[in-house]
Amino acid sequence: MDKAKRRTVIAGNWKMNKTARQAAELIDALIPAVQGAGCDVVICTPFTSLPAAVEKCKGTNIHVGAQNVHFEANGAYTGEISAEMLTDLGVEYVITGHSERRQYFAETDETVNKRTRAALAAGLQVIVCVGESLTQREQGVTEELVRLQVKIALQGVSAQEMQRVIIAYEPVWAIGTGRTATADQAQEVCAAIRRVLAELYGQDVADATTIQYGGSMNAGNADELLAKADVDGGLIGGASLKADAFAAIVAAAGK
C-alpha cells in the first residue's frame, strides 16, 4: 500500500472533441498551467490532433496519447490505426478498452487484450480501462467482473511489460453523468484490482502499478479520490477539455 512505489498519473481523455486547431489552442493554455506538476500528465487526443499535440508538447512535461489502436501491424483494416503509426508520430501512450468503445464499437475483453499486447510490443504505454455498468453494480458482481476484465486484458502481458501498463477503473455509470463514485467505492475496486495484479504478477509488480480512477472526476472531488491508498491518479473526460479544470486536478494529484 505504498504510493511512493508508483507514479501518479493524470490523463485527459478528450474523446471525440477538438479539431487540430482547437487542440493546439487548448495545449497552449495547458502548458503553463501544468508546468512543474508533481505528477505525470498525459493528454489523449483524437487521432487527427496527434501530430499537432506531439509537436506542441515537445520539451514540456505533457505526454501525448491516442484513444485506441488496432492490433494488426498493417493490412486491409479500413479506418484503423496501427501501433507503429502512433509511435512513428512520437505518441507515447494509448488507451485500450474504454467503456465507450466496448459499448458502441463492439470492443470485447479479447480485443482489448489484442490491442494492449500490440501497443506494448510497439513500445507504447497503455492505459487499460475496466469498469462495471450500473446493472452489474446492482447485481453485486462488480469485483468479479473487474477481475475478469483485468485478467483477460493482461493475458500474455509479461511482468516486465507491466512497467508500461496503467489500469484505469472507470465505473460506466459515473462516466459523463456527473455521478462520481464515492472515494470509498473507488478505493474498494482499485484495491481489488491491485489484489488481482498481485495474484498474476506478485506483490512487487502490483505495488508498482498505477491504478487510476475515472468517471466525473473534477477539481471538486479529486482531492478526496486521490487521497485513497489505491487511487494513483485519474482518467479525466469532460474536465480535461478546459485548461483550468484539468490543471486543478493535476495540482491536486501533485500534493
Residues that bind ligand 13P (CB under 6 A): 13, 98, 170, 175-176, 214-217, 235-239
Instruction: Report, in Å, the least distance between residue 63 CB and ligand 13P.
Output: 16
Instruction: Report, in Å, the least distance between residue 171 CB and ligand 13P.
Output: 10
Cα dihedral sign, 232-197-126-63: positive
Instruction: Report, in Å, the least distance between residue 234 CB and ligand 13P.
Output: 8
- Intra-chain end-to-end CA distance of the chain, in Å: 18
How many CB atoms lie under 10 A from the CB of residue 57? 20
Measured CA to CA, the distance from residue 190 to residue 168 in angstroms comes to 9
Instruction: Report, in Å, the least distance between residue 175 CB and ligand 13P.
Output: 4
How many CB atoms lie under 10 A from the CB of residue 196? 19
- The CA-based diameter of the chain, rounded to the nearest angstrom, is 48
**φ/ψ (deg, to 5) at 231:** -100, 110
Pick the closer one to ligand 13P by CB: 65 or 187.
65
Pick the closer one to ligand 13P by CB: 118 or 129.
129
Pick the closer one to ligand 13P by CB: 34 or 171.
171
161 is catalytic: no
Pick the closer one to ligand 13P by CB: 142 or 205.
142
Q: Helix (H, G, I), strand (E, B), or coil: what is residue 129?
A: strand
63 is catalytic: no
Measured CA to CA, the distance from residue 225 to residue 172 in angstroms comes to 17
Q: Helix (H, G, I), strand (E, B), or coil: what is residue 16?
A: coil
Query: What are the helix and strand counts (H, E) for the chain?
Result: 11, 8
| Residue 168: all three cell numbers together | 484505469
Instruction: Report, in Å, the least distance between residue 155 CB and ligand 13P.
Output: 23
Residue 113: CA count within 13 A, CB half-sphere: 14
The single residue listed with the C-alpha cell 506542441 is: 56
Pick the closer one to ligand 13P by CB: 3 or 242.
242
Whether 217 contacts 246, CB under 8 Å: no
| 61 alpha-carbon distance from chain centroid | 17
Q: Name the closest residue to ligand 13P (Cβ).
A: 237
Pick the closer one to ligand 13P by CB: 46 or 238.
238
Q: Which of 70, 98, 100, 132 is catalytic?
A: 98
Instruction: Report, in Å, the least distance between residue 68 CB and ligand 13P.
Output: 12
Catalytic positions are: 98, 170
